[in-house]
Amino acid sequence: MVAKLDRERLRALVEPHWRRLYNFVFRLTLDRDRAERYVGDIFTAAVSQIDTAPDAPAEVEVWLLGIANTLLESRLPRQPEVNFDILDETLRSEATRTDVVRSLSDPQRDFLLWELKQGCMTSVINCLPPGERAAFVVCHILKLPDDQAAKSLAITESAYKVRLSRARKKVGDYLAPRCEHVNPMNPCRCPARVGTALHKGFIRSIGQSGGEVSLRKAADNPYGRYGTGIGHEDVPMRDISAIYGSLPEPEMPDDLPAKLVDALSR
């Protein structure tokens, strides 16, 4: 079935959509190796079902996300592979260590604070059951409207809204009393947790290969402690949807689209 599409048609299928598919899969797996492998499987399945693809380009992404969600539902365990207790044990079980941050130069410090925020926020998503996790990601990270989000998950809009509401509550209940990015008076502050995160391998310093939760390239310039963006006041976002809506794409293999087209054309 794969061989019936020429390389031009394969590129037209892969190139506009692979980045958002990778982002979706990575957020649900927190694993770059699995994300790359699963994206390949998603496009293989898409090519085998190409006769069912919608004609409108805007609808193709929703169709591909539907294939991705079906694949992930069959492969992810029903219960989260991490939970809030494990996350607390990893980052908050040891005494705070501000000495690490004080010993770093400004670029290093800013980079690691940004890495820790992104890694922690993505790990929080992975404490949700897969169905709620998918609803949260298509809403707050991919920013799909409700009708397209529900269609991509093959559920009704009302069921989607129930899943999303549950996911928001769990994420909010976890972050609201802990995270400084929600409230600066909260006890869990990134500068005090960088040392622990480095020690436990949750993040890695500049110049080392990124860990599974490392979401930014070392060459990028972090902007602001709270990630509100260049030209904005550097204040906590407080709103969960704003925090997750500001997350950058995970670092992706630059050669992945070419590898996908090569594999699909064989």
pLDDT score for 159: 98
pLDDT at residue 115, as a whole number: 75
Tell the burial category of 82 from Cβ atoms under 10 Å away from its Cβ (0-12, 13-18, 19+): middle
Q: Cβ-count burial of 4 within 10 angstroms (0-12 exposed, 13-18 middle, 19+ buried)?
A: exposed
What is the helix (H) or strand (E) element at residue 217, kind and residue range? none
* Token pair of 138 as six digits: 């298509």
DSSP-assigned states of every residue in 64-81 = HHHHHHHHHHHHS-SS-S
For the record, the structure tokens of 201 come out as 């391998």
User: Does residue 256 come out as left (phi exceeding 0), alpha (psi in the -120 to 50 range) or beta?
Assistant: alpha
Q: pLDDT tens-digit profile of 195-249?
A: 788 877 787 765 444 444 444 344 444 444 544 445 544 455 567 888 888 777 8
Phi/psi at 139 (nearest 5 deg)? -80, -60
Task: Pick the closest to residue 17 from 48, 58, 55, 53 (CA basis).
Answer: 58
Structural Rg of the chain based on CA atoms: 19
Q: What is the structure's pLDDT at 4? A: 61
Q: For the whole prediction, is pTM greater than 0.75?
A: yes
> Domain ranges in the chain?
2-264
pLDDT at 248: 78
List the one residue out of 99, 130, 97, 90 whose CA is nearest residue 213. Answer: 90
Cβ of 233: how many Cβ atoms within 10 Å? 8
pLDDT of residue 170: 95
* CATH number among 3.40.50.20, 2.60.60.20, 3.30.70.980, 1.20.140.160, domain 2-264: 1.20.140.160
**Below-70 pLDDT ranges, the chain:** 1-4, 95-106, 205-238
What tokens were used for 53? Answer: 């693809």
